[in-house]
Amino acid sequence: MDTLKALQVFMTTAENGSFSDAARKLGVSPAAISQSIARLEQELEVRLFNRTTRQLTLTEDGRRFYAQCRGPVNHLDTAINQLKESRDEPAGHLRVSLPNSFGRRFILPLMGEFCGLYPKIKVFFGLDDHFSDLIEDGYDVGVRVGMLPDSRMAARPLAQIPQYVVASPAYWDKHGRPSKPEDLAQYDCINFQFPTSGRLYKWEFDCDGERLPLEVVGTYTVNDIEAVCELARLGLGVAQLPGHEIMPYLRSGELEVVLTDFVSLQRNITICFPHREHIAPRTRVFVDFIVEKLFDHPDIVAELPGLDLSAKRSELAAAEA
């Protein structure tokens, strides 16, 4: 027996007082209504209606059963109506996973405008650099730096990000400036360790169109990208960092870039969401909003004055096509 359907027939019959009126309301025959009520009574082993040729009334058990069903059915009706309304106006709870530094710098400042446009959306942000599994951890959207989503995820690009080698000007003045990536073996390099896997980030360079990965050594290893940046700013070593992380320090002169002829653009920033046949409106409008605001944003693309990376971007686009 289809319990929900049987309950709908029972509630409608009780509220309309006759099989024929309930049948008109539900678009079925009076005989179908009568048969459904009979099956429900058989299933429950109780009589729900007193039937005469002139009148249909609830029994005492029927009245009690109706009162018990009314609350849950009201809640179900409300849930169905809210779901239908949300298809037209984005609403509900949205869970968003963000890398810590990028999220604070680029996503959070946009939220006043977003929530003004969509006041019925309630947003939870999970900020960390552990790159949690979006689906297993129940996230609707995630921004990922330098990671490709798995096959369960759809992704829209925000930018290709340059990887710059930096240190403080005082550090370069003391130790000299390298002229090629291999020279970094002579420098104290700051390693970044991925918080989830524990593996070290491998530095990478573009050498005549070829990707050159490079393992480096040094005094410090940390699992926080902002800490890498801070150690470099304090003159404690050399770091390779995405351009958007270091732009404020480049502008202030606290960090200086070297090896600009070997800048890599192999890493992307993407906004990801689970592959589904029906994407919730709240997810769709959030993704569209972030792409509109941040696609090729100058502080994310992070091109330095006098450094034109457009040719490299074109080469990568052609290789991926």
Verify that 155 and 293 share a domain, yes or no.
yes
Nearest Cα to Cα of residue 179 among 207, 203, 201:
207
Verify that 172 and 261 share a domain, yes or no.
yes
Residue 27: pLDDT over 80: yes
Of the listed ranges 24-28, 106-110, 272-276, the least confidently predicted one is 272-276
Q: Using an 8 Å Cβ cutoff, are 158 and 269 in contact?
A: yes
Report pLDDT digits (tens) over 60-97.
898 888 888 877 876 776 666 666 655 667 888 999 99
Out of 83, 116, 142, pick the residue that ends a domain. 83
Average confidence (pLDDT) over 127-131: 77
pLDDT of residue 266: 78
What is the share, in percent, of the chain residues with pLDDT greater than 90?
42
> Which residues lie closer than 8 Å to 224 by C-beta, 6 or more apart?
100, 129, 195
Number of domains, the chain? 3
Out of 83, 102, 137, pick the residue that ends a domain. 83
Which CATH number fits the domain that encloses residue 296? 3.40.190.10
Residue 106: pLDDT over 90: yes
Residue 129: pLDDT over 90: no
- Residues 302 and 291: their CA atoms lie apart, in Å, by 17
pLDDT of residue 80: 66
Collapsed DSSP state (helix, strand, coil) of residue 256: strand
Out of 83, 105, 130, pick the residue that ends a domain. 83
- Residues 101 and 231: their CA atoms lie apart, in Å, by 16
Nearest Cα to Cα of residue 164 among 217, 228, 218, 99:
228
pLDDT of residue 196: 74
Nearest Cα to Cα of residue 241 among 254, 257, 221:
257
Residue 239: pLDDT over 70: yes
Report pLDDT digits (tens) over 209-219.
788 899 999 99
| Owner of token pair 């890498």 | 228
Question: Which range of residues forms the domain containing residue 43?
Answer: 3-83
- Give strand pairing partners of 153: 274
pLDDT of residue 276: 64
Beta-carbon-side half-sphere exposure of residue 77 (alpha carbons within 13 Å): 9
Average confidence (pLDDT) over 138-154: 78
Beta-strand ranges (E) seen in the chain are 49-51, 56-58, 92-98, 121-127, 141-145, 153-167, 191-192, 203-207, 210-214, 221-222, 239-242, 256-258, 264-274
pLDDT of residue 256: 96
Verify that 35 and 117 share a domain, yes or no.
no
Residue 14: pLDDT over 70: yes
pLDDT of residue 267: 82
